[in-house]
């Protein structure tokens, strides 16, 4: 039977991130994907990577969720950019009545654009406790955990433990290429065990869509029967291939190539698990 995954996220017209990225990653797992749109991201052609956000009215988000949840029986739900307090609350209410695996990408900032809206307290109170897996990057993890900027594995672990105490079942802190050294490092904390994932850094480019694609890949992996660890390792491998083969575009920030692990596999991006 074909697995089904729902993404609740913004639309990124560049094609690298947002729900466009999510649906591409779902396809890489042979999963059927649908989307509820929370906002639309466009670009000022004169300013490069400068976002223009159009938030979707929460009543419209509600109708989208009610429609798709009535039509499909999903195996997992993933959320990305929610954009507004109202839309985040709409999602939280729907999740409480649909006990499905939920992968939460807690988007508080947008690559190249800085902080969009401070949703931290709302996330901690309403969405973190519902997350089967939460996937903050270093800045998001520090914000959710009320810590100073994170620049070490020890800091990642500390943040993961705090976020787990807020209710998330599994916390994946994405160090990626932002930590010093040759390796892109992420950690998983399930409440008992810390697992460290390493892969070689493949380039120094700023790549749009890596975080979105990582979370949606985890959701698709879970939906198709993988364990949490298997899904995270698979996601890290697919995203590493996508970064290695990223596409330049007019925004000045490269776009992740989602099928690269299948179509253009790169050497030396294997993930080691400690």
Fold type of domain 4-273: 3.40.1190
Written as tens digits, the pLDDT of the chain (274 aa) is: 899 999 999 998 888 899 999 999 999 999 999 999 999 988 776 765 556 678 899 999 999 999 999 999 999 999 999 988 899 999 999 999 998 999 999 998 654 444 445 689 999 999 999 999 999 999 999 999 999 999 999 999 999 999 999 999 999 999 988 888 899 999 999 999 999 999 999 887 888 899 999 999 999 999 999 999 999 999 999 999 999 999 988 777 899 999 999 999 877 788 999 9
User: Three-state SS for 214?
Assistant: helix
Which bin fits 45, alpha (ψ -120 to 50), beta or left (φ > 0)? alpha
pTM, full prediction: 0.95
Q: Give the domain ranges of the chain.
A: 4-273
H helix or E strand, kind and range, residue 189: strand 183-189
pLDDT in tens, 83-111: 888 999 999 999 999 989 999 999 986 54
User: Three-state SS for 18?
Assistant: helix
């Amino acid at each position: 039977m074909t697995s089904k995954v729902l993404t609740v996220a913004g639309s990124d017209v560049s094609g690298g991130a947002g729900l466009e990225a999510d649906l591409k990653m779902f396809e890489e797992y042979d999963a059927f994907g649908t989307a509820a749109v929370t906002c639309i991201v466009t670009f000022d052609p004169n300013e490069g990577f400068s976002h223009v956000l159009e938030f979707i009215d929460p009543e419209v988000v509600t109708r989208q969720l009610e429609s798709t949840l009535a039509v499909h029986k999903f195996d997992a739900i993933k959320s990305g950019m929610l954009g507004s307090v109202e839309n985040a609350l709409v999602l939280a209410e729907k999740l409480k009545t649909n006990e499905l695996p939920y992968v939460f990408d807690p988007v508080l900032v947008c690559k190249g654009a800085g902080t969009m809206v401070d949703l931290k307290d709302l996330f901690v109170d309403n969405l973190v406790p519902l997350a089967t897996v939460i996937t903050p990057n270093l800045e998001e993890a520090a914000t959710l955990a009320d810590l100073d900027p994170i620049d070490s594995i020890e800091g990642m672990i500390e943040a993961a433990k705090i976020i787990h105490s807020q209710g998330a079942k599994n916390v994946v802190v994405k160090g990626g290429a932002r930590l010093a050294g040759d390796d892109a490092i992420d950690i998983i904390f399930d409440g008992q065990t810390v697992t460290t994932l390493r892969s070689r850094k493949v380039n120094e480019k700023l790549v749009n869509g890596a975080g979105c694609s990582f979370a949606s890949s985890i959701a698709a992996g879970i939906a198709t029967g993988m364990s949490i660890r298997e899904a995270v390792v698979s996601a890290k491998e697919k995203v590493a291939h996508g970064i290695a083969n990223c596409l330049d575009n007019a925004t000045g920030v490269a776009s992740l190539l989602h099928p690269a692990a299948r179509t253009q596999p790169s050497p030396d991006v294997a993930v080691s698990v400690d």
